[in-house]
Amino acid sequence: MSKRRRKLAEPKVLITQKDLDARVSELAQQISADYADKGELVLIGVLKGAFIFLADLSRKLTIPRHIEFIAVSSYEHGNVPSGAVRLVMDVRASIEGRHVLIVEDIVDTGHTLHYLTDMLQSRGPASIRNCVLLHKEHMTEVDIDIDYLGFTIGDEWVVGYGLDYAEKDRTLPYIGAIKPGD
Footprint of ligand PRP (CB under 6 A): 46-49, 74, 104-112, 164
φ and ψ of 10, to 5 deg: -70, 145
The nearest distance, CB 44 to ligand PRP, in angstroms, is: 12
Estimate the crossing angle of helix 51-60 against helix 17-34, to 10 degrees.
60
Q: How many CA within 13 A on the CB side of residue 45? A: 18
Q: Return the number of the residue (45 or 125) whose C-beta is nearest ligand PRP.
A: 45
Helix H or strand E encompassing 181: none
- Counting every residue written for the chain, the total comes to 182
Whether 34 is catalytic is no
Whose Cβ is closer to ligand PRP: residue 62's or residue 121's?
Answer: 121
Closer residue to ligand PRP, CB minimum distance, 47 or 119: 47
CB atoms within 10 A of CB 137: 15
CB of 172 to ligand PRP, least distance (A): 14
Comparison of 125 and 162: residue with beta carbon closer to ligand PRP: 162
> Buried b / exposed e across 55-66, counting CB within 10 Å, b at 16+?
ebbbeebebebb
CB of 139 to ligand PRP, least distance (A): 7
Catalytic residue among 19, 56, 105, 108: 108
Distance of CA 91 to the CA centre of its chain: 16
Catalytic residues: 108
